[in-house]
Amino acid sequence: MAFDPSNDFAAIVDGLEAVTLEVRGRDDQAITNAHRGQHDRREAEPSDGQVLAAATIWQWPSDESERPPLGSVIVDGDGQRYTIIELAEQVLGAKYSATCRRLSIEAGLDTTVTIEQAAWTKSTAGEAVATWATLLAGQRARVQPVAQTTEIEHDARETNQRYDVILEREPPESVLAKFTSGVRVRDAEGSTYRVERYVAAERIDRLPKLECVKE
């Protein structure tokens, strides 16, 4: 009998684990027999080494999922997210081999923020009062100080503290559509940051961020 290594991946590879494959526009796919390689770490954002990227290779049998496009995400059992930046379909062994990046927020992996939007009403005195409604809660993020700027308004100097709120994942399109005005970020300590601009990741191996001013 001729040697046929196809479909042998799950039978001969050790250290297999179950993961979830997230593909934009498709239902999540459960993969039972995935194998990850070693990590190669580097800095992903100017952050004193706090926002890091870890490169690794994930492999799994090709009959366990459709071919994912680049930018799809593998989520392991601990909830860590790996973005696929290169993909090879190997006929010998019938498997996918995906080069991935894990964009992790090392400075406080437990840091979470809430994104809120203002609804304006008037007080009995006729003053505008904001009531804040939650758009997204429990978003893993890093609040990164950027700079202080001084502006003159009504003949008075005002110092603004600027921050980048680096998000672990892109907000849903339904939420992004509301990023016009009156949006803020509340961190775990209760500090709030007025959102001036949402900056989408220009590459699939980068994280999105919100450019903010501390209130």
Q: What does each C-alpha distance from 150 to 35, 106, 161, 182 come to in angstroms? A: 52, 31, 9, 22
Q: What is the CB-side half-sphere exposure of residue 182 using CA atoms within 13 A? A: 15
pLDDT > 70: what percent of the chain? 75
Q: What domains appear along the chain, each with residue ranges and CATH number?
A: 9-105 (2.40.10), 112-214 (2.40.10)
Phi, psi (rounded to 5 degrees) for 27: -70, 150
With cut-offs at 50, 70 and 90, classify the pLDDT of residue 107: very low
Distance between first and last Cα of the chain: 73
Unique residue bearing structure tokens 């840091």: 111
In this structure, of 77-81, 103-107, 139-143, 165-169, the range with the lowest mean pLDDT score is 103-107
* DSSP E strands, 46-127: 51-61, 73-75, 81-90, 95-105, 112-122
Q: What pLDDT is recorded for position 90?
A: 81
SS3 category, 176: helix
pLDDT tens per residue across span 18-39:
999 999 888 999 999 999 887 6
- Global confidence as pTM: 0.66
pLDDT tens per residue across span 50-83:
555 567 899 999 989 999 999 899 999 988 888 8
Closest by CA position to 193, among listed 169, 154, 165, 157: 165
Q: What pLDDT is recorded for position 98?
A: 93
